[in-house]
Structure 1
Amino acid sequence: MAEHRIAELLALLKPYWQHFPDLNLAEIMAQLANEAGFQGSLSDVSDDMLIYQLKMRQEKREAMIPGLAKDCEPDFKTAILQARGIIK
């Protein structure tokens, strides 16, 4: 895992861990994996899944993924013109 991913994961874990101070790290990972619907071994949990779950767990089920939301255009014409480089 790259250093920036570790920093991001730790920053996201801090408030979650403060909310559940009686749990150890393995229990927190198991709880997050369970919330995400992960059924495999805890050793197979990816950092991407943990980061996504920590970011999205407070959002509504219909909420758009943050990485996609920044590129979303409500107007189709604007989206096409941006994709063609006509407007910024």
Structure 2
Amino acid sequence: MQCHRIEELLELLEPVWLEQQELNLVQILAQLAKEAGFEGPLEELTDDVLIYHLKMRGSDKQEMIPGLKKDCEVDFKEALLKARGIK
């Protein structure tokens, strides 16, 4: 894991941990994994799952993940023009 990912994860974890100070880190990670729908063993939980879940936590369930949202084209014609380098 790269340094900036560690820093990002800690920054996202801080408010959650402060809300539930009675829990230890492993308990918080287990809770977040369960919220995210992760069903595997905790040692297989990736930082990506945690980061995306923490970023999307509390948002509408139908809302698209920010990293994917920017790649979606709503207008098919615009997507074709962009693919051809016109737009």
Q: Hey, which bits of structure 1, 4+ residues long, moved more than 2 A?
A: 71-74
Q: How does 1:1-88 map to 2 (within 5 A)?
A: 1-87=1-87
Q: 1:71 Cα shift? A: 2.6
Using the alignment, how far apart are the partners of 1:80 and 1:47 within structure 2? 35
Aligned length, in residue pairs: 87
Residue segments in structure 2 that go unaligned for 5+ positions in a row: none
Identity of aligned residues (%): 60
Q: 1:73 Cα shift? A: 2.9
Using the alignment, how far apart are the partners of 2:33 and 2:76 within structure 1? 37
Matching residue's letter, 1:33: A
- RMSD of equivalent CA atoms: 1.3
Structure 1-normalised TM-score?
A: 0.87
Structure 2-normalised TM-score?
A: 0.88
Q: 1:74 Cα shift? A: 2.4
